[in-house]
């Protein structure tokens, strides 16, 4: 499920990030269409088409509404192979049998459509998106749907810049790439209100179509046109301000010329005669009059007037435009107004040093700066530090009061501290606009070198617990020299500086007490050092239950004070138990605890260390989080010793059994009274012949040297039975010890096998 979602997200990225680089932004207008709805005979037959329907609206007056649809036509499952790359607005290249490109002529998976119009003539009052077809049978694309854009007057260009003339932006994609859309359908319906008499193109400023692979779909596009019934010559939107590099800037600064640009457009169907008069602050400008100008249908004119900066005073100025038009023998008028402001610039003052030492931190402020205009205020302060002779700055800061750190590998010599500001009027420094020079102030700085002395720049993190990995970095070491890191006067890492004396290295915090501990970085070559402090917190801990047991036993390890979500590996001395290979991953819970049970491995008796070890870091090795002691009460050595003792006892039992057997035979054959331990002889009184063919008594009778009889409580048969039972017990103990050994070995072998199997199994 996760990989499928990732694949879909990557598809969307390819649909809507790669496409703009493949398609051009060429915009083609539309002329001379029928006033009725579009018919299929007017559309391209060999390519898909995105078009406006109806393409031409001419009978809607101001105050009325009309609706136009954006439609897709002729999307098919066919392909076109060619040696020529298709770009928006082009026809398809010739068919090729060995093509460089193979374009889908349908299989629509994503689209991006933008439209633009004159907002002084038309106002978009409603839009209906016909996506997906499951909700809109006359629409396009199949669900599930991912909406990227569906905005009116969208100004933010993500995920790519939009054409400046775009007013409506619609972009969607299907998440089911196995079900692309083909055929004809309506993308959206737009309802406009007519604001005034006039005309405007309804232009498809962008049309991007994509197949499921993110490859553009070649297509034609046909824009639309609107003209009100009584369209004639009108004033378009005028521009007023300082004109620099093809742009108008407002407000103007004291001394700058102000240019007024007045566009006049004939949206009607006959030629018009007009007069245009400009006024400033209610007074007509005698030089700003155009008399008896002629404008043909569908054409426009652009008039300019320039106010000299020497004639303009500080403050607001009102410009009015009066247009008198003779249209079809009737005199009609049009009127518009614009405002512009003239301001005074700010006065900047930089406070700060003119010299500094390499490796030093220096501060600057603009507290004494002020705005000269009575309504002005400085809002933004931007500082840059640049080495003289370089184009790009070395550092940039923002704020009225800032600091620069002078890096030790920066060159000494002449530098420049520059301050640029932006005020509440939106005016800022522009190197091509001379009047904005006062929005920038420069301050000289001389950097003085110092002998190299190692410096610690960063310790990340600056606090932690034993076993955590810390990354330390710095500068000003000897070029390519060795750097040694000490923690509590104990070496924890070594590294080598680069050509510029910069260095960095990770290390693991040793097992130590809670509280502050010194870290020293020593430049071995120059014998200089820098020191900082690292705060050690209470680290994780382990508790083992039971804390002692023989090999093959089950023990449980409890952990606490771990960071939530930490992956943990259990290490038994030098034996690494990758518990992830046997059971679900050992992950510390939200409260920083975990518990896990495993088998004591086959080792000798004695004391061992069990550790909770963290994963590898990209800049360091394994880190030990916590350790605990564990005692193996009966190990491999103990088992072998017991087996050896049992073997000796077993051999002695077998010798006793053989000896008893011989003694019994002797007593039976010669009818001597004999004790079961064969420890002494008795008198052989009696007639041996009497014993022939008689049974041996259950009780053996012996005769002492004094002639008294003694009764033995154990017969020869019972002695043999006792020895046999002892032998069986010893052998059973051997088998038990061997079983323990086999169980312990089996658990280890199983763990290793599963671990290896887990490592080679594809995920």
> What is the rounded CA–CA span in Å between residue 30 and residue 28?
7
> What is the rounded CA–CA span in Å between residue 480 and residue 85?
52
pLDDT of residue 657: 57
Planar angle of CA 216, 221, 226, nearest 5 degrees: 150
> What is the rounded CA–CA span in Å between residue 211 and residue 173?
10
Q: If DSSP states are collapsed to H, E and C, what string results for 442-504?
A: EEEEEEECCCCCCEEEEEECCEECCCCEEEEEEECCCCCCEEEEEECCEEEEEEECCCCCCEE
> What is the rounded CA–CA span in Å between residue 571 and residue 472?
27
**pLDDT tens profile 75-91:** 999 999 999 999 988 88
Residue 392 confidence (pLDDT) above 60: yes
> What is the rounded CA–CA span in Å between residue 759 and residue 762?
8
**pLDDT tens profile 31-54:** 333 334 555 556 767 899 999 999
> What is the rounded CA–CA span in Å between residue 610 and residue 630?
7
> What is the rounded CA–CA span in Å between residue 67 and residue 53?
9
Task: Please compute the mean of the pLDDT values over residues 731-760 and round it to a whole number.
Answer: 51
Joined tokens for residue 111: 């689209």
**pLDDT tens profile 163-198:** 878 889 999 999 998 999 999 999 999 999 999 888
Give which of 166, 164, 163, 118 is closest to 267, Cα–Cα.
118
Joined tokens for residue 346: 């700010």
The number of CA neighbours under 13 Å toward the Cβ of 707 is 1
Q: What distances in angstroms separate CA 491 from CA 78, 219, 518, 521, 559, one per listed residue?
A: 70, 69, 12, 10, 29
What's the Rg (C-alpha) of the chain?
Answer: 49
Write down the residue that tokens 């002629």 correspond to. 294
In CATH, 455-536 is 2.60.40.10:
yes
Give which of 598, 613, 534, 622 is closest to 754, Cα–Cα.
598
- In terms of Cβ atoms closer than 10 Å to its own Cβ (0-12, 13-18, 19+), residue 488 is middle
Q: What distances in angstroms separate CA 74 from CA 19, 45, 105, 108, 225, one per listed residue?
A: 21, 7, 8, 11, 23
pLDDT band for 464, please (50, 70, 90 cuts).
Answer: confident
Mean pLDDT value across the chain: 80
pTM of the model: 0.47
Residue 336 confidence (pLDDT) above 60: yes
> What is the rounded CA–CA span in Å between residue 323 and residue 207?
38
**Domain at 541-633: CATH code:** 2.60.40.1930
The number of CA neighbours under 13 Å toward the Cβ of 378 is 25
Joined tokens for residue 169: 């932006």
* Angle at which helices 636-670 and 716-760 cross, to 10°: 160
pLDDT of residue 182: 95
Q: If DSSP states are collapsed to H, E and C, what string results for 644-710?
A: HHHHHHHHHHHHHHHHHHHHHHHHHHHCCCECCCCCCECCCCCCHHHHCCCCCCCCCEEECCCCCEE
Are the beta carbons of 350 and 441 closer than 8 angstroms? yes
> What is the rounded CA–CA span in Å between residue 127 and residue 121?
18
**pLDDT tens profile 614-658:** 754 444 455 677 888 999 998 888 888 877 877 777 777 766 655
Q: DSSP H helical segments within 117-157, as ranges?
A: none
CATH architecture for segment(s) 2-227 = Sandwich (2.60)
> What is the rounded CA–CA span in Å between residue 59 and residue 227?
7
Joined tokens for residue 716: 């020869």
Preceding omega of 397 cis (within 30 degrees of 0): no
Could you please report the per-residue DSSP string of 306-348? EE-GGGPPSEEEEEEEEEEEEETTEEEEEEEEEEEEEEPPEE-
pLDDT band for 157, please (50, 70, 90 cuts).
Answer: low
Are the beta carbons of 519 and 512 closer than 8 angstroms? no
pLDDT of residue 241: 94
Joined tokens for residue 48: 């898909």
Say whether 405 sits in a helix, a strand or coil.
strand
Fold category of 346-448 in CATH: Immunoglobulin-like (2.60.40)
Number of H helices, E strands in the chain: 4, 50
Region at 760 (left for phi over 0; alpha for psi -120 to 50; beta for the rest): alpha
Q: How many residues does the chain have?
A: 763
Give which of 278, 275, 294 is closest to 338, Cα–Cα.
278
Joined tokens for residue 482: 């060795």
Give, as one character, the DSSP assignment of residue 527: T
pLDDT of residue 408: 74
- For the chain, percent of residues with pLDDT exceeding 70: 76
Joined tokens for residue 550: 């023989």
In CATH terms, 233-343 corresponds, of 2.40.30.60, 2.60.40.10, 1.10.510.10, 3.40.50.300, to: 2.60.40.10
> What is the rounded CA–CA span in Å between residue 68 and residue 730?
102
**pLDDT tens profile 563-589:** 777 778 888 876 654 433 334 468 888
């Amino acid at each position: 499920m996760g990989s499928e979602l990732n694949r879909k997200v990557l598809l969307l990225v390819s649909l809507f990030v790669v496409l703009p680089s493949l398609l051009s932004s060429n915009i083609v207008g539309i002329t001379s269409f029928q006033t009725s709805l579009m018919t299929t005979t007017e559309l391209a037959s060999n390519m898909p088409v995105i078009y406006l329907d109806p393409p031409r609206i001419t009978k809607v007056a101001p105050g009325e509404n009309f609706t136009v649809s954006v439609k897709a036509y002729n999307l098919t499952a066919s392909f076109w192979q060619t040696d020529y790359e298709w770009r928006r607005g082009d026809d398809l290249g010739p068919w090729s049998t060995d093509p460089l490109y193979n374009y889908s002529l349908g299989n629509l998976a994503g689209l991006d459509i933008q439209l633009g119009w004159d907002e002084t003539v038309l106002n978009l009052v409603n839009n209906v998106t016909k996506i997906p077809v499951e909700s809109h049978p006359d629409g396009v694309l199949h669900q599930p749907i991912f909406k990227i854009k569906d905005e009116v007057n969208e100004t933010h260009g993500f995920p790519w810049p939009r054409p400046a003339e775009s007013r409506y932006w619609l972009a969607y994609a299907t998440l089911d790439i196995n079900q692309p859309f083909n055929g004809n359908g309506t993308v959206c319906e737009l309802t406009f209100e007519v604001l005034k008499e006039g005309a405007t193109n309804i232009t498809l400023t962008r049309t991007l179509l994509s197949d499921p692979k993110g490859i553009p779909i070649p297509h034609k596009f046909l824009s639309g046109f609107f003209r009100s019934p009584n369209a004639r010559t009108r004033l378009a939107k005028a521009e007023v301000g300082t004109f620099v590099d093809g742009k108008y800037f407002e407000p103007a600064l004291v001394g700058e010329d102000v240019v007024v640009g007045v566009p006049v457009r004939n949206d009607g169907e006959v030629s018009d005669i007009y007069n245009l008069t400009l006024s400033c602050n209610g007074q007509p400008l005698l030089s700003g009059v155009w008399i008896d100008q002629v404008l043909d249908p569908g054409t426009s004119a652009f008039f300019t007037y320039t106010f000299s900066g020497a004639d303009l005073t500080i403050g607001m100025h009102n410009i009015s435009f009066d247009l008198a038009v003779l249209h079809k023998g009737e005199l009609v008028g049009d009127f518009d107004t614009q405002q512009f402001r003239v301001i005074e610039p700010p006065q900047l003052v930089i406070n700060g040093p003119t010299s500094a030492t390499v490796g030093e931190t220096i501060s600057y402020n603009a507290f004494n700066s002020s705005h000269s205009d009575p309504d002005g205020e400085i809002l933004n302060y931007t500082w840059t530090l640049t080495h003289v002779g370089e184009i790009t700055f070395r550092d940039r800061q923002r704020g009225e009061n800032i600091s620069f750190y002078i890096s030790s590998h920066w060159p000494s010599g002449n530098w420049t501290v520059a301050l640029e500001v932006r005020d509440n009027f939106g005016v800022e420094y522009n190197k091509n606009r001379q009047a904005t020079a006062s929005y920038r102030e420069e301050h000289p700085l001389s950097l003085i070198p110092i002998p190299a002395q190692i410096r610690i720049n960063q310790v990340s993190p600056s606090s932690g617990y034993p076993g955590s990995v810390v990354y330390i970095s710095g500068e000003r070491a000897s070029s390519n020299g060795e750097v040694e890191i000490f923690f509590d006067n104990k070496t924890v890492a070594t590294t080598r500086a680069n050509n510029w004396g910069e260095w960095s290295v990770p290390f693991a915090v040793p097992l130590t007490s809670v509280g502050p501990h010194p870290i020293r970085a020593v430049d071995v070559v120059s014998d200089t050092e820098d020191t900082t402090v690292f705060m050690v917190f209470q680290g994780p801990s382990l508790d083992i239950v039971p804390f002692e047991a023989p090999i093959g036993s089950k023990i449980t390890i409890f952990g606490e004070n771990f960071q939530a979500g930490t992956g943990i590996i259990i290490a038994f001395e030098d034996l690494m138990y990758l518990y992830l290979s046997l059971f679900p991953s050992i992950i510390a819970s939200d409260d920083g605890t975990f518990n896990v049970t495993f088998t004591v491995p086959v080792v000798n008796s004695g004391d061992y260390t069990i550790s909770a070890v963290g994963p590898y870091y990209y800049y360091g090795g394994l880190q030990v989080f916590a350790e605990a002691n564990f005692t193996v009460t009966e190990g491999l050595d103990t088992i072998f010793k017991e087996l050896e003792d049992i073997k000796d006892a077993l051999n002695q039992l077998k010798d006793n059994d053989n000896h008893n057997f011989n003694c019994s035979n002797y007593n039976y054959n010669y009818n001597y009274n004999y004790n079961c331990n064969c420890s002494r002889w008795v008198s052989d009184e009696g007639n041996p012949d009497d014993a022939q063919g008689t049974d041996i008594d259950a009780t053996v009778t012996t005769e002492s040297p004094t002639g008294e009889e003694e009764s033995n409580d154990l017969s020869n048969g019972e002695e043999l039975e006792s020895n046999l039972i002892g032998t069986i017990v010893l052998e059973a103990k051997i088998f038990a010890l061997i079983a323990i050994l086999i169980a312990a070995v089996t658990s280890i072998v199983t763990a290793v096998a599963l671990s290896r199997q887990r490592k080679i199994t594809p995920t």
